[in-house]
Amino acid sequence: MMELLSTLGRIPMKASGADFCARIRSPHPGARYNAASEYEEVRGDRRAFACLVGALNDRDAGVRGRATRSLGLLRNPRAIRSVMRKLTDTSNDIRKDAVEALGMLQARQAVTALIGLLDDRNQRVHRAAAAALGRIGDQRAVPALVKKLKTSYQMMRAEAATALGGIGGSRVVDPLIEALEGTDYIVQAAAAHALGGMRVAGDRVVSALEKACSDHEDYVRTAAVEALGALGDRRAIGILAQRTRDTNPFVREAAVVAIGRLGDPRGIAPLEHIIRKDRLSIRMAAAWSLGMVGGLRALGVLQRIEHNGNESWVDSMARASLWAALVRLGVHAVIDPLAIVLAFSDPPRVVIDPCAFHPDRKNIYLCRN
């Protein structure tokens, strides 16, 4: 019994609202800052929530900023009005924190104020305003963001393009295509990703992205290829197959992954070629894509690679992709742990990292090469 009580004594307990309020009203700024950071203690406790809102008026700017960010992370709409008051704070950092919090809170009542902050004197504030408007997704922001595509500040133009993609709708397509066809590679890439993220595969969008796949800037080509993969329009299979032979390895890898996302059997031939001759990460991505395409031909390629015994990392990905494809087909006799990850979703980058599944995890040198 004593052992049980001792064990229970070591289990962290959620502090009461009174305890939280005492800490966030401490005379020591560091203690108040730490309390404001522990926003999970506030969740579901009205008294603690009120004390956190009160910290927005703390005399220390660091505490005010931390409280503002925490209120955004809580996603409680009751905080919106109080956070909006921080949009006029004298500190640039506090205004930026308030803008970001309102984006997290999906505060449509703040859209007009955020549009006004697109012209804030501080670059970080007006970029944050554009990002917040993109997260909120209110069509009222479209004209102001389209106007910002013409501003002289490069990063603001890129942020505006990203925000327009977040808002979506027919009104943003033409401005984004125009930005994609421009000459600033940062803005072009942002416009490409925005178009891809909208998942609207109209003729003009696909055509503009296909053209951007031949841009002289590697960064733009990579973004355009990724966008075509995100759109999932099989009309793009031809240009994606071409990009698997691009001079830039990042473009080639993006094209390989995009073919997997399209799941088009016409992509098997370039994947079969690249899985034998390219750098390691690209060949492993090709193994994943073959599994996503599926079909007897693709599975045959994976089976041959899996049995060649020459390179354990590619073999491991080929085996897992083969089994993942079988899982998607309803064959559950043999399951590889990685196959569970690959079977039903786009893998994150780490999945095509050798260290994610290499059997000899202790060999750091191998994992880094």
- For the residues of 120-172, what is the DSSP string, one character each? -SSHHHHHHHHHHHHHHT-GGGHHHHHHHTTSS-HHHHHHHHHHHHHH-SGGG
Token pair for residue 347? 């893998």
Look up the pTM and report it.
0.80
Q: Poorest-confidence range of 76-90, 105-119, 196-210, 224-238?
A: 196-210
70-85, pLDDT tens digit by residue?
Answer: 999 999 999 999 999 9
- When pLDDT is cut at 50, 70 and 90, the band that residue 16 belongs to is confident
CA of 340: how far to CAs of 57, 150, 179, 229, 295, in Å? Answer: 49, 46, 40, 22, 19
Q: Which residues contact 94 (CB under 8 A, 6 or more apart)?
A: 61, 64, 65, 68, 86
CA pair distance 64, 57, nearest whole angstrom: 6
Task: Render the burial of 101-122: b for 16+ CB within 10 Å, e for the rest.
Answer: bbbbbebeebbebbbebbebee
Q: Whose structure tokens read 């506090």?
A: 94
**Domain 16-136 annotated CATH 1.25.10.10:** yes
123-142, pLDDT tens digit by residue?
Answer: 999 999 999 999 999 999 99
pLDDT of residue 223 exceeding 50, the answer is yes
pLDDT of residue 364 exceeding 70, the answer is no
pLDDT at 270: 94
- Say if residues 225 and 243 touch (Cβ distance below 8 Å): yes
Token pair for residue 11? 């289990």
CB under 8 A, 24+ apart: contacts of 235-240: 235/201, 235/206, 236/206, 236/209, 236/210, 236/262, 237/262, 237/264, 237/266, 237/267, 239/210, 239/213, 240/213, 240/267
CA pair distance 133, 126, nearest whole angstrom: 11
pLDDT at 194: 96
**All structural domains of the chain with their residue ranges:** 16-136, 267-369
Q: 77: which DSSP letter?
A: G
284-317, pLDDT tens digit by residue?
Answer: 888 888 888 888 888 788 777 766 555 566 667 6
Task: Let me know if 347 is exposed, middle or buried by CB neighbors in 10 A (0-12, 13-18, 19+).
Answer: buried
